[in-house]
A and B are shown apart, each in its own frame.
Chain A
Amino acid sequence: MNASMPIRHTQAESDLFDRYDKAKSSFAGSVAVTALREAAVDQIRDHGLPHRRVEEYKYTDLRAFLKAASPLSAAADLVAAKNLLAEQNSYGDLERHRIVVANGVYVAELSDSDALAAEGVKIQDLNDVLEGENGSQYLTAPKSGLSDGVLALNTAFVQGGVVLEVADGADVSKPVELVHIATSSGAQVTRNQVRVGAGARLRLLETFTGETGGGEINSVFDYHVADKAYLAATRLIVGKDEAARLFTSVTTIGAEAEFKSLGFMAGPRFARNQQFVNFTGENSEAKIYGVTMAGGDDLADQTLIVDHAVPHCNSREFFKTVLDGRAKGIYQGRINVAQHAQKTDGEMMTQALLLSEDAEMANKPELEIFADDVICAHGATSGQIDEDLLFYLRARGIPEAEAKTLLVLAFLSEAIEEYGEDDVTEGLEERVRDWLAGH
């Protein structure tokens, strides 16, 4: 694109430049960090928000969706945050450690940092590290070239977040829930870095609670899974929010390591969960799951790029989508296999269940393979509820709505169960029931 020919900015883009000018004096960060923020703002200035003529955003036109941009959220009210934290029970009474980020900023008082320290988990406030001499490395995406538009938006406005480091060999006994809380309206822009040390094990839960009004949520997670380490990250995005919900993960996987993730989305008006997974060591495995529910006029996008840059790695991608009303579901998944990445095993499947005539699924699984000794497969299906199954259940006295719930749960549970984090399964199935009962 030609940067010398200025584009005509949308209202939302103008709002964003205002937002930046008003907030920049309060942003944390070294000179180098500020330069990264400025460059990101310039990228938006030159290219605009991502829109449908950008291949990766063909179905998810953020530029058209965003009519205006809210200011960033102000500092959180701690009492309100504490109350919201107490109410946050997406996983029932599951035993877990909690880390709180409220209105975009880490809240040490509400986080279980002592208990975590005892388990070998160190937490730092992102804003502290951004001030340091290596500050800019926390905002640098491991990809070169023109950055992804949502990532740029994040870099420009990041308010805070945490850096979570699990010591080599530590096996964290309970899941760690990173709770993002909104105590007032306004956009929330966070960046979290999670480093799981060599041979260490972490199960991470990411939840989001509270109302942001017209403000978008833009959260980026930078995962580093060291050699022989294990990370399972469950991202739960539920609620009928009207404003955009934008999530990005960038994962770097070492040798003989295992990374699993489940992106669970139900209800937002406009949501995108994008993941970039990079193998950098041999004999590792990545298992990426998606469970998506959208109704009404919702748009829900699961986008994924898995880069097999080294040999002898396995990846499994399994995505399930349920759509109702006039909702639009998007799955864009690509497995890249570099020329020397021999013995790669990749298996990608995306399946959609359409509960209405007007719902629409765009399934785009792709393989880009330059190595010759690999096993890679992909598949995509789209269908309706099987009337014969429905009739069988009804003939046993189960009312139609309940029978549908059973069948939708059965469909989605395949992915939840294969993900295999058993202690969150029940909570997730409850969230499916919530969506079915009230979407």
Chain B
Amino acid sequence: MLEIKNLHARIAEDETEILRGVDLTVNAGEVHAIMGPNGSGKSTLSYVLAGKDDYEITEGEVLFNGENMLEMDPDERAAAGMFLAFQYPIEIPGVATMEFLKTAMNAQRKARGEDALSIPDFMRRVKAAAAHLNVSMDMLKRPLNVGFSGGEKKRAEILQMSLLEPKLCVLDETDSGLDIDALRVVSEGVNKLRAPDRAMVVITHYQRLLDHIVPDVVHVLSKGKIVKSGNKDLALELEKNGYADYVDTAA
């Protein structure tokens, strides 16, 4: 589903290289975890996949279901099935959450040549998804993410993800800022979306999320490169020994 080959990316503004040759293949139905120290480039990788133009690709390629994803606009990628749950979901004053959800769902449907949702159908979907994720109607009445707590913002991201039904889910530190109960709710929401035709890339700094969302493969990203890959035991090993080994070997 996703093939990243020798991907190099730098910050467009000052040309600092952040990704230095990332190779990663994720097949449909798989869940991959990417772990790594702060500043190793995890969020940058997620932004590059979503199409943020703060970054310049200097080398390599990204194929999404065989198509060159780097040539697509962010909204085209989304309509093709790419979803990024942001590490820091942004507040958008003046844009009502429900209006936003309806616009996003219908824009993607339109791009795929599907009919717009009827209002009752839309409402039914939102209510069902919100109930599973403990998202109150009161939250949905507010402007997008405005006044949401850290945990509420993360739940709202997963709500969007369930409504948009993407093919590739990239979750950037969805666990940060969540207490144990919220972590369970969010993980259950994510696990419900695991499916044979869907792939997930779960970026996290800590192992504890991976107790709830059990990955098929774990990668360590350090200084813009994947320096080690293994099964879920790799996460436990990292939890015990920290990232010190990888920071040094990558230097």
Seen from chain A, the residues whose Cβ lies within 8 Å of a Cβ on chain B are: 388-389, 391-400, 402-403, 406-407, 409-411, 413-414
Looking at the assembled complex, report how far the CB atom of B112 sits from the nearest CB atom of chain A, in whole angstroms. Answer: 10
A406: which B residues are within 8 A, CB to CB? 95, 99-100, 103
Known: A395-B84, A410-B94, A413-B94. 8 other contacts (CB 8 A): A394-B78, A395-B75, A396-B75, A396-B107, A397-B78, A397-B105, A397-B111, A402-B103
Which of B1-9, B85-93, B182-190, B230-238 forms part of the interface with chain A? B85-93
B73 touches A400 (CB 8 A): yes
B92 touches A410 (CB 8 A): yes
**Closest B residue, CB atoms, query A403:** B75
B33: Cβ under 8 A from any A Cβ: no
**Closest B residue, CB atoms, query A412:** B94
Task: State the majority secondary structure of interface residues on A.
Answer: helix
B226: Cβ under 8 A from any A Cβ: no
The A-contacting residues of B in range 46-92, CB under 8 angstroms, are 50-53, 73-75, 77-79, 84, 86, 89-90, 92
A389: which B residues are within 8 A, CB to CB? 90, 92
A388 touches B164 (CB 8 A): no
Give bound CA distance, A414 to B96, whole Å: 12
B86 touches A396 (CB 8 A): no
B90: which A residues are within 8 A, CB to CB? 388-389, 392
Given contacts A389-B90, A406-B100, A410-B95, is CB(A397)–CB(B79) below 8 Å?
yes
The A-contacting residues of B in range 116-140, CB under 8 angstroms, are none
Task: Jot down 8 A-B pairs with beta carbons below 8 A, ordered by A.
Answer: A391-B50, A391-B52, A392-B86, A395-B50, A396-B78, A398-B104, A411-B94, A414-B93
Tally A-B pairs: CB < 8 A: 75
A409 touches B111 (CB 8 A): no
B111: which A residues are within 8 A, CB to CB? 397, 399
A407: which B residues are within 8 A, CB to CB? 92, 94-95
Point out which of A392, A400, A403, A410 has the most chain B C-beta atoms below 10 A from its C-beta. Answer: A392
Number of interface residues, chain B, beta carbon within 8 A:
29
Looking at the assembled complex, report how far the CB atom of B93 sits from the nearest CB atom of chain A, in whole angstroms. Answer: 7
A409 touches B104 (CB 8 A): no
A394 touches B75 (CB 8 A): yes
Given contacts A389-B90, A391-B74, A402-B103, is CB(A397)–CB(B164) below 8 Å?
yes
Looking at the assembled complex, report how far the CB atom of A384 sits from the nearest CB atom of chain B, in whole angstroms. Answer: 15
The 10 A-B pairs of least Cβ separation, nearest first, read A410-B94, A397-B78, A397-B108, A394-B74, A396-B104, A394-B75, A398-B107, A397-B107, A395-B50, A392-B90
Within 8 Å by CB of A392, from B53, B77, B92, B164, lies B92
The A-contacting residues of B in range 6-44, CB under 8 angstroms, are none
A396 touches B160 (CB 8 A): yes
Looking at the assembled complex, report how far the CB atom of B29 sits from the nearest CB atom of chain A, in whole angstroms. Answer: 23
The A-contacting residues of B in range 138-153, CB under 8 angstroms, are 143
Give bound CA distance, A398 to B51, whole Å: 13
B94: which A residues are within 8 A, CB to CB? 407, 409-411, 413-414
Within 8 Å by CB of A395, from B74, B92, B95, B143, lies B74
A409: which B residues are within 8 A, CB to CB? 94
